[in-house]
Amino acid sequence: MIRYQPPIADIAFALEHVVGYPEIANLPGFEHADLDTVVELIEQCGEFMAEVVAPTNQSGDSEGARRQPDGSVMTPTGFTEAYHQYVEAGWGSVPLPEEFGGGGFPRTVGLIIQEMMTSANMAFALCPLLTQGAIEALLHYGDEDQKKRYLPRMVSGEWTGTMNLTEPQAGSDVGALTTRAVPRPDGSYALTGQKIFITFGDHDMAEQIVHLVLARTPGAPAGTKGISCFLVPKFLVNDDGSLGERNGVHTLSLEHKMGIHGAPTCVLSYEDATGYLLGGENLGMRIMFVMMNSARLSVGMQGLAVAERAYQQSLAYAQERRQGLAIGATGVDSAIIEFPDVRRMLLTQRSSLAALRYLMLLDASYVDRSTNDPDPAARARANEIVGILTPICKSFGSDLGNELTSLALQVHGGMGYIEETGAAQHLRDVRIAAIYEGTNGIQAADLVGRKLGVRGGASVRELLATMREISAELAGAGPEFDTIREELGRQFDALEQATEWMLRTGQTDPNAVLAGSTPYLRMWGLCTGGWLLARAAVAAPATGDTALADSQLVLARFWAEQVLPQCTGLLGAAIAGTRDLFALDAHQLAGQASPVRR
């Protein structure tokens, strides 16, 4: 496996010329995070991730996390040492509030740090990612004592955090959970139940783990309305901040997974464990969505990050591997990079990575606008755009993560299927991203069910109108941009047609809208990717870097001509409705005749 190279130049270009980061740095509270400072910071961070974290990736996959006979959990060799260096360097605290020891940098910068850490080692990066989600929940809903007691050491990374949602009978249907929380006279609660799929639910990288656990109090309403959220530390915390006795939470087992072997995925048992109510009774779903919305953009970024590492490896292999003789070549053989189909796979990866990076950073930039813009109207509009872009980022990012890592493996040919090359690990690791933090089908349902109808559809129409403004810029950029402009126009028309159908049909047949939601979300991903690549191509000549301008034009044109046309092809599926989806029963789907009813 080759050495990971953080794509600093690509990130810096995206910040300055595509997603408008200088405007973010001018917002109140971000004055210290100017572009030059941020580029210097991410250069140092990238070096750390490449030198300290990346070497643990393949060995961590081979060794995996292990549950010891005493019930404790050990991470792979090198994880603990790398994590302690990560905490000492302060990388996790960069985008967190200064009030609790953070750097106060924008979320956009935090997402870049997450990308590089995930490229270095996705399994390792999951621990800080989940801790950030727990921190977000505490910031929004914790009382002053809870914030003072837990946040400084969670922000520093000395303590880590988890999200405990899933139970054996309650996966995506969170309302089916049965974990109980019984109030005690001292104001705490006794929690009893079992949680599954808890990433870093126990480990040896930090001395304390702060679990945020969804549970029901006595007499709570049924379903999601009766869910509360509780803070349950692995060790009770004394009044002086020191760690006290072990709490009643234990690891029953670790899951044996397809990938991310270095990240312990725990089955946790809560047995009369001491917990503290967060926010108030029956607010669990609100708090969960604070955690989930924070995590969903990060999970979309995981698709980008792992695909970036896989692309770097496949590009190096394509230059080294010699086999056959390319047309027009002389000599005994050619590097496989000289063959058209290998070039197609490499350029598909390269253009997709650029599109995803622009999309993820654009969403993050609107998160920063939604929190720090002094204009209430601008904050409200930014929040609407975040609502639209986040399910697209999560689904499109993780779907492309699967597709691009598969392409990277394909470039390796038979050697990609051999574990020692490391190509297969990327595909195995990233596969979970389309599943957790809300499956991609749930993201599509969120887009059409909640986000599409905001202000009667005006919100999404305004975003599409903004995207169409690129046409005039492309027209003025020169004839070499013509095919990009023409293809974007065609695909925007298809997306608009699907959008209007969704808005119209959703009022009378919501099931039909849900039936087409996944291809519809994909249409949005393709179009936003093409739009942002076009923005990059138009902006690049102003840098004075001819090679950069040429490459950005090629990426935008390749996407427009060879990737973007998939959008029109998805229109039929997006507006097909439910007729054929429910036309066959389970026996017919299995190729069997339906049982005769007597």
Q: What is the pLDDT of residues 427-445, one digit of tens each?
A: 999 999 999 988 999 999 9
Residue 353 has pLDDT above 90, yes or no: yes
- pLDDT of 596: 59
The residue with tokens 């490449």 is 50
Percent share of the chain, pLDDT over 70: 99
Burial class (CB in 10 A: 0-12, 13-18, 19+), 535: buried
Stated as kind and residue range, the H or E segment containing 232 is: strand 228-233
Contact indicator for 228, 284 with CB cutoff of 8 Å? yes
- pLDDT of 174: 83
List pLDDT tens digits, range 69-83: 999 999 999 999 999
Q: Confirm whether pTM is higher than 0.75.
A: yes
* Torsion (CA) 366, 368, 372, 378 in degrees, nearest 10: 0
- How many residues in total does the chain contain? 598
CA-to-CA dists, residue 405 to 12, 133, 194, 559, angstroms:
24, 26, 34, 18
Q: What is the mean pLDDT of residues 358-372?
A: 97
- pLDDT of 170: 83
Residue 537 has pLDDT above 70, yes or no: yes
Any residues with CB less than 8 A from the CB of 256 and at least 6 apart, and which? none
Q: Which of 226, 396, 375 is nearest to 307 (CA)?
A: 396
Active-site option among 115, 136, 308, 437 = 437
Q: Where in the chain are the domains? A: 447-582
What single-letter amino acid sits at 370? S
What single-letter amino acid sits at 303? G
- pLDDT of 292: 81
List pLDDT tens digits, range 241-266: 999 999 999 999 999 999 999 999 99
Q: Clarify whether 462 is annotated catalytic.
A: no
Q: What is the mean pLDDT of residues 9-24?
A: 98
Residue 414 has pLDDT above 80, yes or no: yes
Mean pLDDT score across all residues of the chain: 96
List pLDDT tens digits, range 123-141: 999 999 999 999 999 999 9
Q: What is the mean pLDDT of residues 34-39?
A: 98
Phi–psi pair at 419, nearest 5 degrees: -60, -30
The residue with tokens 């070039």 is 343
The residue with tokens 């690891």 is 251
- pLDDT of 36: 98
Residue 54 has pLDDT above 60, yes or no: yes
How many Cα atoms within 13 Å fall on the side-chain side of residue 308? Answer: 30
- pLDDT of 498: 98
Residue 595 has pLDDT above 90, yes or no: no
How many Cα atoms within 13 Å fall on the side-chain side of residue 200? Answer: 31
List pLDDT tens digits, range 276-318: 999 999 999 999 888 888 799 999 999 999 999 999 999 999 9
- pLDDT of 598: 52
List pLDDT tens digits, range 172-189: 788 889 999 999 999 999
Q: In 216-254, which positions are buried (b, 16+ CB within 10 angstroms) versus exposed (e)?
A: bbeebeeebebbbbbbbbbbebeeeeeeeeebbbbbeeb
Q: What is the mean pLDDT of residues 366-371?
A: 97
Residue 597 has pLDDT above 70, yes or no: no
The residue among 572 and 594 whose pLDDT is bigger is 572
Residue 368 has pLDDT above 80, yes or no: yes
**Cα–Cα dist 303/353, whole Å:** 9
Any residues with CB less than 8 A from the CB of 158 and at least 6 apart, and which? 87, 206, 207, 208
β-partners of residue 233 are 210
What single-letter amino acid sits at 281? E
DSSP letters for 185-204:
TTS-EEEEEEEEEEETSS-S
Stated as kind and residue range, the H or E segment containing 274 is: strand 265-278
- pLDDT of 594: 66
Q: What is the mean pLDDT of residues 86-101?
A: 97
CA-to-CA dists, residue 593 to 69, 125, 582, 589, 590, angstroms:
51, 49, 16, 9, 9
